[in-house]
Amino acid sequence: MRPQKFLRHLDQVIVPRLAGGFVRVARGRLRLRLLTGAALLGVTGVLLAVVWTAHRGTTATPESTLGETVQVGVVQGQSVPLYAKQARSELAGLLKRPSATPVETYALVSLKAYLAPERLTPVLGGVSVVEVYARVPLGKTPTASVRIPAFKIPEDVVAGMKQVALRKDNDAADFRGLAGKLTTADAEEDRLRDTYLGGSAVAEAEAEAYRTGCTCVYAAVVRATPAALDQIASRPEVRAVDPAPEVRRLDRAVFLPPLPEQVGQLDPSASAAPSAAPGAQPSSTPGGEPSAGPSDRPGDEPSGPASARPSADPASPHASPVAQTSPSGESTASAPASPAHAPSAAAADAGERG
Protein backbone atom coordinates (compact mmCIF):
# COMPACT_ATOMS: atom_id res chain seq x y z
CA MET A 1 0.00 0.00 0.00
CA ARG A 2 1.26 3.39 -0.97
CA PRO A 3 2.03 5.85 1.81
CA GLN A 4 -0.66 8.23 0.61
CA LYS A 5 -3.32 5.54 0.66
CA PHE A 6 -2.12 4.28 4.04
CA LEU A 7 -2.33 7.73 5.61
CA ARG A 8 -5.75 8.26 4.07
CA HIS A 9 -6.92 4.93 5.42
CA LEU A 10 -5.46 5.77 8.83
CA ASP A 11 -7.19 9.13 8.83
CA GLN A 12 -10.54 7.86 7.64
CA VAL A 13 -10.81 4.48 9.39
CA ILE A 14 -8.30 3.91 12.16
CA VAL A 15 -8.38 7.33 13.83
CA PRO A 16 -12.23 7.50 14.10
CA ARG A 17 -12.30 4.01 15.60
CA LEU A 18 -9.60 4.87 18.13
CA ALA A 19 -11.41 8.11 19.00
CA GLY A 20 -14.67 6.20 19.57
CA GLY A 21 -12.87 3.74 21.81
CA PHE A 22 -11.38 6.51 23.93
CA VAL A 23 -14.80 8.13 24.27
CA ARG A 24 -16.30 4.85 25.48
CA VAL A 25 -13.47 4.36 27.98
CA ALA A 26 -13.86 7.92 29.26
CA ARG A 27 -17.59 7.42 29.72
CA GLY A 28 -17.00 4.21 31.71
CA ARG A 29 -14.53 5.94 33.99
CA LEU A 30 -17.00 8.75 34.67
CA ARG A 31 -19.71 6.28 35.49
CA LEU A 32 -17.33 4.47 37.84
CA ARG A 33 -16.45 7.73 39.51
CA LEU A 34 -20.12 8.61 39.97
CA LEU A 35 -20.90 5.19 41.45
CA THR A 36 -17.90 5.42 43.78
CA GLY A 37 -18.96 8.88 44.97
CA ALA A 38 -22.52 7.73 45.62
CA ALA A 39 -21.26 4.77 47.66
CA LEU A 40 -19.01 7.00 49.73
CA LEU A 41 -21.92 9.36 50.41
CA GLY A 42 -24.08 6.43 51.52
CA VAL A 43 -21.44 5.08 53.89
CA THR A 44 -20.88 8.57 55.31
CA GLY A 45 -24.62 8.94 55.94
CA VAL A 46 -24.78 5.61 57.75
CA LEU A 47 -21.81 6.52 59.94
CA LEU A 48 -23.36 9.89 60.80
CA ALA A 49 -26.64 8.17 61.76
CA VAL A 50 -24.82 5.70 64.02
CA VAL A 51 -22.86 8.48 65.73
CA TRP A 52 -26.01 10.60 66.25
CA THR A 53 -27.91 7.65 67.71
CA ALA A 54 -25.09 6.79 70.09
CA HIS A 55 -24.77 10.43 71.18
CA ARG A 56 -28.52 10.67 71.75
CA GLY A 57 -28.47 7.55 73.93
CA THR A 58 -25.60 8.95 76.00
CA THR A 59 -27.29 12.29 76.62
CA ALA A 60 -30.54 10.54 77.64
CA THR A 61 -28.85 8.56 80.40
CA PRO A 62 -29.11 11.25 83.12
CA GLU A 63 -32.86 11.55 82.47
CA SER A 64 -33.30 7.80 82.89
CA THR A 65 -31.56 7.91 86.25
CA LEU A 66 -34.21 10.36 87.44
CA GLY A 67 -36.77 7.58 87.09
CA GLU A 68 -35.87 6.17 90.51
CA THR A 69 -38.21 7.21 93.32
CA VAL A 70 -36.49 8.59 96.41
CA GLN A 71 -38.18 8.28 99.81
CA VAL A 72 -37.42 10.93 102.41
CA GLY A 73 -38.56 10.75 106.02
CA VAL A 74 -39.15 8.23 108.77
CA VAL A 75 -39.87 4.61 107.85
CA GLN A 76 -41.80 1.77 109.47
CA GLY A 77 -40.15 0.47 112.59
CA GLN A 78 -37.63 3.35 112.76
CA SER A 79 -37.04 5.33 115.92
CA VAL A 80 -38.33 8.87 115.45
CA PRO A 81 -35.75 10.45 117.84
CA LEU A 82 -32.98 8.56 116.05
CA TYR A 83 -34.35 9.76 112.71
CA ALA A 84 -34.23 13.37 113.95
CA LYS A 85 -30.65 12.85 115.16
CA GLN A 86 -29.59 11.46 111.78
CA ALA A 87 -31.24 14.40 110.01
CA ARG A 88 -29.22 16.85 112.16
CA SER A 89 -26.05 14.92 111.38
CA GLU A 90 -26.72 15.00 107.64
CA LEU A 91 -27.43 18.73 107.74
CA ALA A 92 -24.19 19.31 109.68
CA GLY A 93 -22.33 17.40 106.98
CA LEU A 94 -23.76 19.65 104.27
CA LEU A 95 -22.70 22.74 106.24
CA LYS A 96 -19.11 21.49 106.38
CA ARG A 97 -18.80 21.00 102.63
CA PRO A 98 -16.64 23.73 101.05
CA SER A 99 -18.56 25.56 98.38
CA ALA A 100 -17.91 28.90 96.74
CA THR A 101 -21.59 29.20 95.82
CA PRO A 102 -24.11 27.63 98.26
CA VAL A 103 -26.37 25.15 96.49
CA GLU A 104 -30.06 24.97 97.39
CA THR A 105 -31.47 21.57 98.24
CA TYR A 106 -34.87 20.14 99.06
CA ALA A 107 -35.55 19.26 102.69
CA LEU A 108 -38.37 17.78 104.75
CA VAL A 109 -39.25 19.93 107.78
CA SER A 110 -41.12 18.08 110.55
CA LEU A 111 -42.86 20.09 113.27
CA LYS A 112 -43.21 19.31 116.97
CA ALA A 113 -46.92 20.20 117.01
CA TYR A 114 -49.77 20.91 114.59
CA LEU A 115 -49.82 24.53 113.44
CA ALA A 116 -52.44 26.75 111.85
CA PRO A 117 -51.63 28.33 108.45
CA GLU A 118 -50.96 31.79 109.91
CA ARG A 119 -48.37 30.37 112.30
CA LEU A 120 -46.24 28.94 109.49
CA THR A 121 -44.76 32.27 108.37
CA PRO A 122 -42.39 32.80 111.33
CA VAL A 123 -41.40 29.12 111.29
CA LEU A 124 -40.71 28.73 107.56
CA GLY A 125 -39.60 32.28 106.83
CA GLY A 126 -36.43 32.73 104.79
CA VAL A 127 -36.83 29.62 102.61
CA SER A 128 -38.87 28.65 99.55
CA VAL A 129 -41.81 26.49 100.60
CA VAL A 130 -43.00 23.91 98.08
CA GLU A 131 -45.78 22.02 99.87
CA VAL A 132 -47.13 21.31 103.35
CA TYR A 133 -48.62 18.24 105.00
CA ALA A 134 -51.75 18.49 107.10
CA ARG A 135 -54.00 16.19 109.10
CA VAL A 136 -57.04 16.80 111.30
CA PRO A 137 -56.26 15.29 114.74
CA LEU A 138 -59.50 13.78 116.08
CA GLY A 139 -58.22 11.97 119.16
CA LYS A 140 -58.03 8.24 118.56
CA THR A 141 -60.04 8.45 115.35
CA PRO A 142 -57.72 7.81 112.39
CA THR A 143 -57.72 10.55 109.75
CA ALA A 144 -55.87 11.01 106.47
CA SER A 145 -52.83 13.18 105.84
CA VAL A 146 -53.12 15.52 102.86
CA ARG A 147 -50.43 17.18 100.77
CA ILE A 148 -51.10 20.80 99.81
CA PRO A 149 -48.93 22.68 97.25
CA ALA A 150 -48.12 25.96 98.98
CA PHE A 151 -45.51 28.34 97.62
CA LYS A 152 -46.97 31.42 99.31
CA ILE A 153 -47.55 31.18 103.06
CA PRO A 154 -50.24 31.25 104.41
CA GLU A 155 -52.46 32.09 101.41
CA ASP A 156 -51.84 28.89 99.45
CA VAL A 157 -52.32 26.74 102.56
CA VAL A 158 -55.70 28.32 103.30
CA ALA A 159 -56.80 27.94 99.67
CA GLY A 160 -55.66 24.32 99.62
CA MET A 161 -57.52 23.54 102.84
CA LYS A 162 -60.74 24.88 101.33
CA GLN A 163 -60.34 22.52 98.38
CA VAL A 164 -59.69 19.62 100.76
CA ALA A 165 -62.88 20.57 102.62
CA LEU A 166 -64.89 20.29 99.41
CA ARG A 167 -63.46 16.85 98.76
CA LYS A 168 -64.25 15.77 102.31
CA ASP A 169 -67.85 16.94 101.83
CA ASN A 170 -68.04 14.69 98.78
CA ASP A 171 -66.57 11.81 100.79
CA ALA A 172 -69.23 12.27 103.47
CA ALA A 173 -71.98 12.24 100.86
CA ASP A 174 -70.52 9.12 99.23
CA PHE A 175 -70.43 7.29 102.57
CA ARG A 176 -74.04 8.25 103.28
CA GLY A 177 -75.02 7.01 99.83
CA LEU A 178 -73.29 3.67 100.43
CA ALA A 179 -75.03 3.31 103.79
CA GLY A 180 -78.39 4.07 102.17
CA LYS A 181 -77.97 1.23 99.67
CA LEU A 182 -77.84 -1.34 102.48
CA THR A 183 -81.47 -2.42 102.99
CA THR A 184 -81.12 -5.95 104.30
CA ALA A 185 -81.87 -6.28 108.02
CA ASP A 186 -79.10 -8.53 109.30
CA ALA A 187 -76.18 -8.16 111.67
CA GLU A 188 -73.46 -7.99 109.02
CA GLU A 189 -75.13 -5.22 107.01
CA ASP A 190 -75.93 -3.35 110.22
CA ARG A 191 -72.23 -3.35 111.09
CA LEU A 192 -71.30 -2.30 107.56
CA ARG A 193 -73.92 0.49 107.64
CA ASP A 194 -72.50 1.73 110.93
CA THR A 195 -69.03 1.69 109.37
CA TYR A 196 -70.16 3.86 106.45
CA LEU A 197 -72.04 6.26 108.69
CA GLY A 198 -68.96 6.49 110.92
CA GLY A 199 -66.85 7.32 107.88
CA SER A 200 -69.35 10.00 106.87
CA ALA A 201 -69.16 11.58 110.32
CA VAL A 202 -65.35 11.63 110.24
CA ALA A 203 -65.31 13.19 106.75
CA GLU A 204 -67.77 15.87 107.87
CA ALA A 205 -65.59 16.71 110.88
CA GLU A 206 -62.51 16.94 108.65
CA ALA A 207 -64.35 19.14 106.13
CA GLU A 208 -65.42 21.56 108.85
CA ALA A 209 -61.89 21.71 110.27
CA TYR A 210 -60.21 22.40 106.93
CA ARG A 211 -62.87 24.94 105.99
CA THR A 212 -62.00 27.03 109.05
CA GLY A 213 -58.20 26.85 108.54
CA CYS A 214 -57.55 24.30 111.27
CA THR A 215 -54.44 23.78 113.37
CA CYS A 216 -53.47 20.81 111.20
CA VAL A 217 -50.11 21.41 109.46
CA TYR A 218 -47.32 19.20 110.78
CA ALA A 219 -44.65 19.19 108.04
CA ALA A 220 -43.41 21.00 104.95
CA VAL A 221 -41.11 20.47 101.99
CA VAL A 222 -38.80 23.44 101.43
CA ARG A 223 -35.88 24.37 99.20
CA ALA A 224 -32.96 26.37 100.59
CA THR A 225 -29.22 26.48 101.16
CA PRO A 226 -27.76 24.44 104.03
CA ALA A 227 -27.22 27.64 106.07
CA ALA A 228 -30.89 28.61 105.71
CA LEU A 229 -31.97 25.08 106.61
CA ASP A 230 -29.82 25.26 109.72
CA GLN A 231 -31.66 28.41 110.78
CA ILE A 232 -34.99 26.63 110.31
CA ALA A 233 -33.76 23.67 112.37
CA SER A 234 -32.89 25.97 115.30
CA ARG A 235 -36.45 27.28 115.68
CA PRO A 236 -38.38 25.90 118.67
CA GLU A 237 -41.36 24.70 116.62
CA VAL A 238 -39.20 22.50 114.39
CA ARG A 239 -38.58 18.87 115.22
CA ALA A 240 -36.25 17.90 112.40
CA VAL A 241 -34.93 19.20 109.08
CA ASP A 242 -34.07 16.28 106.82
CA PRO A 243 -32.05 17.52 103.81
CA ALA A 244 -32.49 15.56 100.60
CA PRO A 245 -29.80 16.61 98.08
CA GLU A 246 -30.52 13.42 96.13
CA VAL A 247 -33.97 14.74 95.18
CA ARG A 248 -33.78 16.41 91.77
CA ARG A 249 -37.48 16.34 90.87
CA LEU A 250 -40.43 16.33 93.26
CA ASP A 251 -42.41 13.95 91.08
CA ARG A 252 -39.68 11.39 91.77
CA ALA A 253 -39.82 11.81 95.56
CA VAL A 254 -42.04 10.47 98.35
CA PHE A 255 -41.92 12.38 101.65
CA LEU A 256 -42.88 10.59 104.89
CA PRO A 257 -42.84 13.04 107.81
CA PRO A 258 -43.58 11.74 111.31
CA LEU A 259 -46.75 12.90 113.05
CA PRO A 260 -46.25 15.14 116.10
CA GLU A 261 -47.72 12.49 118.40
CA GLN A 262 -45.21 9.89 117.24
CA VAL A 263 -42.40 10.17 119.79
CA GLY A 264 -40.86 6.69 119.92
CA GLN A 265 -40.44 3.90 117.43
CA LEU A 266 -42.74 4.33 114.47
CA ASP A 267 -45.66 1.92 114.62
CA PRO A 268 -46.87 1.21 111.07
CA SER A 269 -50.46 0.87 112.31
CA ALA A 270 -50.40 4.37 113.83
CA SER A 271 -49.23 6.30 110.80
CA ALA A 272 -51.25 7.79 108.00
CA ALA A 273 -49.79 7.84 104.51
CA PRO A 274 -50.07 11.24 102.79
CA SER A 275 -52.89 11.39 100.27
CA ALA A 276 -52.83 13.09 96.90
CA ALA A 277 -52.64 16.85 96.77
CA PRO A 278 -55.94 18.69 96.54
CA GLY A 279 -54.97 20.31 93.27
CA ALA A 280 -54.48 23.82 94.61
CA GLN A 281 -52.70 26.09 92.19
CA PRO A 282 -49.86 27.90 93.96
CA SER A 283 -49.78 31.66 93.64
CA SER A 284 -46.07 31.70 92.84
CA THR A 285 -43.21 29.33 92.22
CA PRO A 286 -40.16 29.03 94.47
CA GLY A 287 -36.64 29.81 93.48
CA GLY A 288 -35.00 26.87 91.82
CA GLU A 289 -36.87 24.12 90.00
CA PRO A 290 -40.63 24.71 89.66
CA SER A 291 -42.84 21.72 90.24
CA ALA A 292 -46.54 21.06 90.66
CA GLY A 293 -45.83 18.43 93.28
CA PRO A 294 -45.78 14.60 93.07
CA SER A 295 -49.44 14.38 92.02
CA ASP A 296 -52.66 16.33 91.84
CA ARG A 297 -54.87 13.31 91.26
CA PRO A 298 -55.79 10.65 93.83
CA GLY A 299 -54.04 7.38 93.32
CA ASP A 300 -51.14 8.70 91.28
CA GLU A 301 -47.74 7.56 92.50
CA PRO A 302 -44.29 8.48 91.19
CA SER A 303 -43.14 5.99 88.61
CA GLY A 304 -39.92 4.07 88.64
CA PRO A 305 -38.33 1.70 91.10
CA ALA A 306 -37.94 2.89 94.66
CA SER A 307 -34.51 3.97 95.79
CA ALA A 308 -34.36 3.91 99.58
CA ARG A 309 -32.28 6.37 101.55
CA PRO A 310 -30.08 5.08 104.37
CA SER A 311 -32.18 4.55 107.49
CA ALA A 312 -31.45 4.04 111.17
CA ASP A 313 -32.63 0.46 111.04
CA PRO A 314 -31.09 -1.39 108.11
CA ALA A 315 -33.50 -4.27 108.61
CA SER A 316 -36.59 -2.11 108.40
CA PRO A 317 -38.29 -1.80 104.99
CA HIS A 318 -38.14 1.65 103.46
CA ALA A 319 -41.70 1.92 102.25
CA SER A 320 -44.73 4.02 102.98
CA PRO A 321 -47.21 2.83 105.61
CA VAL A 322 -50.02 0.54 104.52
CA ALA A 323 -53.17 2.52 103.85
CA GLN A 324 -56.72 1.86 102.71
CA THR A 325 -58.75 4.10 100.43
CA SER A 326 -61.75 6.37 100.92
CA PRO A 327 -64.43 6.95 98.24
CA SER A 328 -62.43 9.81 96.70
CA GLY A 329 -59.32 7.63 96.44
CA GLU A 330 -57.60 9.34 99.38
CA SER A 331 -55.19 7.29 101.46
CA THR A 332 -56.11 6.91 105.10
CA ALA A 333 -54.74 5.06 108.07
CA SER A 334 -57.97 3.14 108.48
CA ALA A 335 -60.86 4.19 106.32
CA PRO A 336 -64.36 2.66 106.27
CA ALA A 337 -64.68 -0.18 103.86
CA SER A 338 -65.76 0.32 100.29
CA PRO A 339 -68.39 -1.87 98.58
CA ALA A 340 -65.61 -4.14 97.33
CA HIS A 341 -64.87 -5.20 100.90
CA ALA A 342 -66.81 -7.99 102.47
CA PRO A 343 -69.13 -6.89 105.34
CA SER A 344 -67.18 -8.96 107.86
CA ALA A 345 -63.89 -7.36 106.80
CA ALA A 346 -65.40 -3.88 107.05
CA ALA A 347 -66.68 -4.60 110.52
CA ALA A 348 -63.26 -5.80 111.58
CA ASP A 349 -61.71 -2.61 110.20
CA ALA A 350 -64.08 -0.34 112.13
CA GLY A 351 -62.51 1.21 115.20
CA GLU A 352 -58.98 0.05 114.41
CA ARG A 353 -55.98 2.15 115.39
CA GLY A 354 -55.82 5.53 116.98
pLDDT value for 101:
72
- Which residues are 220's β-sheet partners? 109, 132
Cα(130)–Cα(71) distance, rounded to whole angstroms? Answer: 16
Could you please report the per-residue DSSP string of 275-303?
-----PPPSSPPSSS----S-SSTT----
Cα(5)–Cα(7) distance, rounded to whole angstroms? Answer: 6
- Which residues are 106's β-sheet partners? 223, 244
The angle that helices 80-96 and 226-233 make with each other, rounded to 10 degrees, is 140
pLDDT at 58 over 90: no
236 or 292, which is more confident: 236
pLDDT value for 253:
93
**How far are the Cα atoms of 51, 68, 313, 315 from residue 57, in angstroms, in the given order?**
10, 18, 38, 37
Cα(244)–Cα(65) distance, rounded to whole angstroms? Answer: 16
pLDDT at 335 over 70: no
pLDDT at 48 over 80: no
pLDDT value for 53:
63
CB 234 within 8 Å of CB 133 = no
pLDDT in tens, 130-173: 999 999 999 999 999 999 999 999 999 999 999 999 999 999 99
327 or 234, which is more confident: 234
pLDDT at 332 over 90: no
Whole-structure pTM value: 0.63
Residues 263-287, mean pLDDT to the nearest whole number:
52
pLDDT at 20 over 80: no
Closest listed residue to residue 115, CA positions, set 255, 229, 216? 216
Could you please report the per-residue DSSP string of 135-158?
E--BTTB---EEEEE-SSTTHHHH
pLDDT in tens, 193-233: 999 999 999 999 999 999 999 999 999 999 999 999 999 99
Percent of the chain with pLDDT over 90: 47
pLDDT band of 3, cuts 50, 70, 90: low
| pLDDT, mean over the chain | 74
pLDDT value for 306:
40
Residues 82-103, mean pLDDT to the nearest whole number:
88
Query: What does the domain layout of the chain look like in residue ranges?
Result: 80-349
pLDDT at 15 over 60: no
Cα(262)–Cα(125) distance, rounded to whole angstroms? Answer: 25
